[in-house]
């Protein structure tokens, strides 16, 4: 299947404004070039678990992915403001307390 066929099928189902031919072409090119690392996440996390001090360059090399793509998917939260950081801490704390009171898995049936 090519990008044009995919665009036509998507347009039939979701309407003409769902995706442009150019966007579909870009996404097809990106996918075909291997710029998807979803299937390598477990391998990457395993490497981080084995060596917490491994560099991002070394990980990208070892799992054979583009370094910039690795950075795009595994960004650090280094640009958080003090307020953003405190918000994250408070939200995580409240979610943990909520889970203690009403565990999520007990609600799933």
Q: What share of the chain is helix, strand, coil (3-state, %, to 5)?
A: 70, 0, 30
Task: Identify the residue whose tokens are 């072409």.
Answer: 25
**Phi/psi zone of residue 64: left (φ > 0), alpha (ψ -120 to 50 degrees), beta?**
left
Can you give the pLDDT at residue 16? Answer: 81
Can you give the pLDDT at residue 37? Answer: 67
Burial grade of 72 (CB within 10 A; 0-12, 13-18, 19 or more):
exposed
Can you give the pLDDT at residue 58? Answer: 93
Query: Domain boundaries in the chain?
Result: 1-33, 36-75, 77-109
Can you give the pLDDT at residue 34? Answer: 59
Q: Convert the pLDDT of each residue in 79-107 to its tens digit.
A: 667 787 788 888 888 888 888 888 776 76
Tokens of 96: 């943990």
- Rounded to a whole number of angstroms, the CA Rg of the chain reads 20
Which residues of the chain are under the pLDDT cut of 50?
Answer: none
Tokens of 30: 């990106």
Can you give the pLDDT at residue 38? Answer: 67
| CB of 54 closer than 8 Å to CB of 77 | no
């Amino acid at each position: 299947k090519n990008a044009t066929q995919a665009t036509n099928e998507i347009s039939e189902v979701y309407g003409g404004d769902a995706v442009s031919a150019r966007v579909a072409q870009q996404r097809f090119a990106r996918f075909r070039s291997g710029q998807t690392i979803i299937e390598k996440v477990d391998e990457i996390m395993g490497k981080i678990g084995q060596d917490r001090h491994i560099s991002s360059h070394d990980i990208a090399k070892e799992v054979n992915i583009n370094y910039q793509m690795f950075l795009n998917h595994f960004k650090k939260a280094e640009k958080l403001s003090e307020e953003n950081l405190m918000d994250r801490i408070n939200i995580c704390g409240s979610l943990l307390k909520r889970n203690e009171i009403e565990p999520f898995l007990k609600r799933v049936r």
